[in-house]
Amino acid sequence: MTKSPILLNIKWDGLAKKAAFEKALPDHPFYNLADGMPSTEELAEVKYAVVWKPEHGFLATLPNLEVIFSLGAGVDHVLEDKQLPDLPIVRFVDANLTGRMVEWVVLQVLMHLRHQRKYDSFQRINQWNEIFPQPSADQLTVGIMGFGELGQAAAKGLLPLGFNLCGWSRSEKSMDGVGCFHGEDGLESFLARTDILVSLLPYTPATHGILNRNLIEKLSRGGPFGAPVLINAGRGGSQVETDIIACLKEGLLHGVSLDVFETEPLPKESPLWSFENVIITPHMAAVSDPAALAEHVATQVNRYEAGEELEYLVDRARGY
């Protein structure tokens, strides 16, 4: 029996990606908006939609939609639709995506710890230059803001390297070897001991613009670099780029790594491009692997059709 169609709003081209979904859900037909808009009758059959930045108001036009899947771990791109139907939203939580984020975070932390950008610039001019101090990992504390799936995995990736670690979340958490802080009350203590701040926060009204001058000034200045490092792969809306640029110029930040930006793509004229101690990546810290996403959607659709509870549901009131 042919099962209900799945609507994909994925700007992926290439047969391999389509094949990933066909393999994971062989009995379900697919309509990918990238191939053109299905007819009104076809849209009326759709029960599941897998989306990334859907056009506002579009999901509300699907009369028989039952579950919305986010192509990514973040769901701000779905929740900002004012006409979003009141349906379950499942976000993407997956070992492949998590592993990629851990790699990116560990890479960025080590790039700053080991002065890699400076060595790159010396190499370009054939210059043999040692740089001091050469602190070891145990002389710094990495503070992870957003201590959920990705934040906790990043901590587990950094722990064996010897860093001191702390995490900050909304609700109370505990992890062996990590100082855990939560809520507004825990924020100042968390910041005061953090030499390298890693933000993996979702974008919500509460996290809008949280990475600003006021917060940067509260970070530790007692570490080996005398000023903190800021790393953000959560969402660009959580950072105030004019503040970050001013703090870099004033020496209030030792280094910065950003994968997400207030405006994406980052405009060519942004001063952020030109700092030697700013590392920029184009929102690719943890891309969603098509095969892993298809498997995840298949698992959840099969659970749903078997009458089991969906996993990784978004809490709309919290915004993530």
CB of 76 to ligand OXD, least distance (A): 8
CB of 300 to ligand OXD, least distance (A): 16
Backbone angles phi, psi at 257, to 5 degrees: -130, 125
Given 73, 211, 245, 292, the residue binding ligand OXD (CB under 6 A): 73
Residues 251-290, one symbol each (x = binds ligand NDP by CB under 6 A, - = not), give --------xx----------------------x-xx----
Tell me: does residue 228 bind ligand OXD (CB under 6 A): no
Q: Are 257 and 282 in contact (CB under 8 A)?
A: no
Residues 106-135, one symbol each (x = binds ligand OXD by CB under 6 A, - = not), give ------------------------------
Alpha carbons within 13 angstroms on the beta-carbon side of residue 172 total 0
Strand ranges inside 100-210, DSSP E: 141-145, 164-169, 178-182, 196-199
Tell me: does residue 74 bind ligand NDP (CB under 6 A): yes
Given 38, 54, 74, 146, the residue binding ligand OXD (CB under 6 A): 74
Total count of residues recorded for the chain = 320
Give the DSSP H or E segment for 238.
none
Q: Are 140 and 223 in contact (CB under 8 A)?
A: yes
Tell me: does residue 146 bind ligand OXD (CB under 6 A): no
- Which of ligand NDP, ligand OXD, none interacts with 163 (beta carbon under 5 to 8 A by kind)? none
Q: Are 279 and 108 in contact (CB under 8 A)?
A: yes
Given 84, 111, 227, 233, the residue binding ligand NDP (CB under 6 A): 233
Whose Cβ is closer to ligand NDP: residue 266's or residue 286's? Answer: 286
Best CA proximity match to 160, nearest among 146, 176, 144: 176
> Which residues, in sequence order, are CB contacts of 157 under 8 Å at separation 6+?
102, 103, 105, 106
Given 17, 18, 170, 254, the residue binding ligand NDP (CB under 6 A): 170
Tell me: does residue 194 bind ligand NDP (CB under 6 A): no
Burial 157-168 (b: 16+ CB within 10 A, else e): bbbeeebbbbbb
Spatial distance between the Cα atoms of 255 and 244, rounded to a whole number of angstroms: 10
Tell me: does residue 237 bind ligand OXD (CB under 6 A): no
Q: Which residues pair with 180 in a beta bridge?
A: 167
- Which of ligand OXD, ligand NDP, none interacts with 155 (beta carbon under 5 to 8 A by kind)? none
- Which of ligand OXD, ligand NDP, none interacts with 202 (beta carbon under 5 to 8 A by kind)? ligand NDP
Residues 134-153 that bind ligand NDP (CB under 6 A): 146-151
Tell me: does residue 72 bind ligand OXD (CB under 6 A): yes
Amino acid residing at 281:
T
Interacting residues with ligand OXD (CB under 6 A): 72-74, 92, 286, 288
